[in-house]
Amino acid sequence: MTMRRIIDPATSAGIYSILGALVVPRPIAWVSTRSADGVENLAPHSFFQIVSTSPPIVMISTVGEKDTARNARETGDLVVCGAPVDLIEQINLSGVEFPADRNEFAELGLTSEPSERVAPPRVAQSPYALECRVVDIIEMGNGVLIFGEVVLVAIDEDMMEGTRVRAQGLDLISRLGGNAWGEIGTQHDVPRVTWEQYQKTTRP
Ligand SMILES: Cc1cc2nc3c(=O)[nH]c(=O)nc-3n(C[C@H](O)[C@H](O)[C@H](O)COP(=O)(O)O)c2cc1C
């Protein structure tokens, strides 16, 4: 039998890095916001999930005092952009704690393009953007959970195959534990099984 290490979060100072290394790979939301006085802001967030599909709602969680959370709260808008492998340096550098009056697009030589339904711009070099309106903000523990309803999706045309996103199309980077980042890697095409099909199959 495998020996198990038992960790009690109440007494473990390292719980943040342990959870960060276990809940992997985490997709990265490259989040564009604009402050109430018009300063553009861009920051990566790997605490990121879909929480509803009708209406479509995504969630990011910011920990600590972040421009992203303040801007989202004050203006009600955010844009979640995909984080492509070839921009790993800029994605990482956009996580530098820049002063609030600095525009990360300008600092990092990224091109912004106007969004259609919300005020913050999209990252032109990113393969997709989810234009979102804030529908709720919940504080939980030390996290500020920002829920954004997706009001428009913009995807590079060559990522599409008919009405579907090409499975092999998106070269997105993810967050692993510590300083490690991951690429998508091998994909397995495993069809979903209905209850009817399940009853007829031989179990593994
Ligand atoms: C890949 C990556 C993922 C990150 N994920 C998060 C996250 O999920 N939540 C968070 O609060 N900070 C996260 N950070 C740190 C923020 O990006 C960093 O604090 C940033 O300066 C916040 O910028 P802002 O103050 O402009 O919002 C991450 C950093 C990197 C490099």
177 C-alpha to center of ligand 1: Å?
Answer: 14
**Which pLDDT belongs to residue 46?**
98
Instruction: Indicate which residue's Cα is closest to atom 26 of ligand 1.
Output: 67
- Residue identified by tokens 């002063």 is 99
* Annotated domain spans of the chain: 17-200
Q: Which of 26, 42, 45 to mutate to test the pocket of ligand 1 (most atoms within 8 A of CB)?
A: 45
- Euclidean distance between CA atoms 178 and 194, whole angstroms: 39
Instruction: Indicate which residue's Cα is closest to atom 13 of ligand 1.
Output: 45
**Which pLDDT belongs to residue 167?**
73
Q: Rounded to 10 degrees, what is the CA torsion of 21, 23, 27, 28?
A: -50
Instruction: Provide the residue count of the chain.
Output: 204
The domain covering 17-200 belongs, at the CATH homologous superfamily level, to Electron Transport, Fmn-binding Protein; Chain A (2.30.110.10)
| pLDDT tens for the chain, residues 1 to 204 | 899 999 999 987 899 999 999 999 999 999 999 999 999 999 999 999 999 999 999 999 999 889 999 999 999 999 999 999 999 999 999 999 999 898 999 999 999 999 999 999 999 999 999 999 999 999 999 999 999 999 999 999 999 999 999 877 789 999 999 999 999 999 999 999 999 999 998 776
125: CB partners within 8 A, 6+ apart: 84, 87, 110, 111
Task: Judge if the beta carbon of residue 103 lies within 6 A of ligand 1.
Answer: no
